[in-house]
Amino acid sequence: MALFTAACVQLRSGKTLSDNAEAAESLIRSAAQDGARYIQTPEMSNVLVRTRDELLERISVAGSDPFLKMAIRLASELKVYLHLGSLAVLAGGGKVANRAFLIGPDGSVMATYDKIHMFDVDLPNGESWRESATYEPGTRSVIADLPFARIGMAVCYDVRFPAIFRTQARQGAQVLTAPAAFTRQTGEAHWHVLQRARAIENGAYVVSAAQGGLHEDGRETYGHSLIVDPWGQVIAELDGDAPGHVLAEIDTENAVKARGRIPAIANERDFACHVAEGLEELHA
């Protein structure tokens, strides 16, 4: 059993990396002062811009990113584990990585994860998104061991692909994550149910910091940063889209208990998928 306090930091990132880093630093400090040992920021914490050309003009390789530099300095100063939900960083070949970073209290980068699933969609309200035109998708799921929990890393749209989270749970992750920049329309419809479903089916906590509000580039995100327990109960929520932080106590023993009560992982079986053709033989 391990107990620790987790925090979601909700942002409203704009176009200027240094401004976004300054706003995030203030909220991260507040979360640490309230006792958080693990602090998570949303997807695209460092910058949100709508066009590919403008994004490429503003970002850099990871080692030169001012948001990452701030986070490394701050994690070391505050002695916390700081999980940057993702940053946009240059990946080479004219592509961008949507990359999460987990930073330890010594300032070291413990793990990185590149978002696997690309959000390519035309929405009924006229919005159109083609992440694959800009971003290079990741190819591997990532889990990281902290002294108090094994944590699975994912980003935003990944939450709609349960296999990532199931694989991480099978590998012993008690805490799953899906930091996001959900659009308001999809957030209102699906945000809570997706987070709770990933928690219930895996018997794990789900911690997901979110972007919220009307951004400088004109997009609107849903907010409602959440922490869900292994039984599917929302135990902390930033109710709205304003920047801020929310905390909850995590007890990893609750993941053990939930998996004992509903042993879905242990009861899994391999199976084939058969497409029926005509009348099947009847079995007594």
What's the pLDDT tens digit per position in 189-203?
A: 999 999 999 999 999
pTM for this prediction: 0.95
63/136 Cα distance (integer angstroms): 18
Over residues 89-115, the pLDDT tens digits come to: 999 888 999 999 999 999 999 999 999
Length of the chain: 284
Mean pLDDT of 236-264: 98
Q: Please check the confidence at residue 280 and state whether its pLDDT lies above 80.
A: no
Helix (H), strand (E) counts: the chain: 6, 16
The pLDDT score that the predictor gives to residue 131 is 85
Active site residues: 43, 115, 156
Q: Is the pLDDT of residue 264 over 70?
A: yes
What is the per-residue burial (b if ≥16 Cβ within 10 Å, else e) of 177-213? bbbbbbbbebbeeebbebbbbbbbbbbbbbbbbbbbb
Predicted confidence band of residue 282 (pLDDT cuts 50, 70, 90): low
If pLDDT is split at 50, 70 and 90, which confidence band does 122 have?
confident
Of 109-113, 132-136, 208-212, 222-226, the one with minimum mean pLDDT is 132-136
Q: What is the pLDDT of residue 229?
A: 98
Read off the pLDDT of each residue in 213-224 and give the average, rounded to a whole number. 96
Q: What value does the mean pLDDT take over residues 271-275?
A: 94
Show the domains of the chain with their CATH numbers. 3-261 (3.60.110.10)
Supply the pLDDT for residue 281.
63
What digits encode the pLDDT tens for the residues 146-168? 999 999 999 999 999 999 999 99
Nearest in space to 131 (alpha carbons), one of 73, 34, 22, 51:
51
Q: Phi first, then psi: give them for residue 275, nearest 5 degrees.
A: -95, 115
- % pLDDT > 90, the chain: 89
